[in-house]
Amino acid sequence: MLAFLLRRFLIAIPTIVIISIMVFALQQLLPGDPLLVLAGEERDPEVLEALREKYRLNDPIPVQYLAWVGNALQGDLGVSLRTNQPVTELMAEKLPVTIQLAVMSMIFALVIGIPAGILSAVKKGTATDYVANVVALSGLSIPNFWLGIMLILLVSVKWQLLPASGYVPLSEDFGQSIRTMLMPSFVLGTALAATLMRHTRSSMIGVLSADYVRTARAKGLAERVVILKHAFRNALTPIVTLTALLFGELVAGAVLTEQIFTIPGFGKLVVDAVFNRDYAVVQGIVLVTAIGFIFMNLFADAMYYVLNPRLRGH
Partner 1 sequence: MPHLKTAMITALIGATALTASPVLAKDLRIALQSDADVLDPDQSRTFVGRIVYASMCDKLVDITPDLEIIPQLATSWTTSDDGTAITMQLREGVVFHDGTPFNAEAVAANIERSQTLDESRRKSELKSITSTEVTGEYEIVLNLAGPDATLMAQLADRAGMMVSPTAAAEAGADFGLNPVCSGAFSFAERVAQDKIVLTKFDDYWNADAINFDSVTFLPIPDTTVRLANLQSGDIDMLERLAATDLAQANADDGIVVDSAVSLGYQGITFNINNGERGDNPWGNDKRLRQALSYAIDREALNQVVFEGAFAPGNQPFPSTSPWYNQSFPVEARDIDKAKSLLAEAGFPDGLDLEVQVPNSTEPLAVMQVVQAMAAEAGINITLTSKEFATLLSDQSAGDYTASQIGWSGRVDPDGNNHQFVTTDGGINDSKFSDAKMDEVMNAARVAGSVEERKALYDEAIALMMDELNRVFLYHVNWIWAYNSSLKGFTPYPDGMIRLENVTWEE
Interface residues with partner 1 (CB under 8 A) are: 31-34, 36-47, 50-51, 53-54, 80, 82-85, 90, 93-94, 135, 138, 142, 147, 149-157, 159-167, 175-176, 178-179, 182-183, 186, 190, 259-262, 264, 268-269, 272, 275-277
Nearest CA to 52 among 81, 32, 23, 27? 81
Q: Which is nearer to partner 1, 14 or 31 (CB)?
A: 31
Give the DSSP H or E segment for 151: helix 144-151
3-state SS class at 79: strand
Q: Which is nearer to partner 1, 17 or 92 (CB)?
A: 92
Q: Which is nearer to partner 1, 169 or 206 (CB)?
A: 169
Question: Please, what is the Cα angle at 130 between 125 and 134, to 5 degrees?
Answer: 155
In the complex, the smallest distance separating the C-beta of residue 202 from partner 1, rounded to whole angstroms, is 22
Q: Which is nearer to partner 1, 1 or 153 (CB)?
A: 153
Nearest CA to 193 among 262, 117, 252? 117
In the complex, the smallest distance separating the C-beta of residue 214 from partner 1, rounded to whole angstroms, is 36
Burial-class residue 132 by CB neighbours within 10 Å (0-12, 13-18, 19+).
buried
In the complex, the smallest distance separating the C-beta of residue 118 from partner 1, rounded to whole angstroms, is 19
How far is residue 204's CA from residue 202's CA, in Å, rounded to a whole number? 5
Kindly report the backbone phi and psi dihedral angles of residue 120, in degrees, each rounded to the nearest multiple of 5, phi listed first: -75, -25
Q: Which is nearer to partner 1, 14 or 40 (CB)?
A: 40
In the complex, the smallest distance separating the C-beta of residue 14 from partner 1, rounded to whole angstroms, is 32
In the complex, the smallest distance separating the C-beta of residue 97 from partner 1, rounded to whole angstroms, is 8
CB 279 within 8 A of CB 182: no
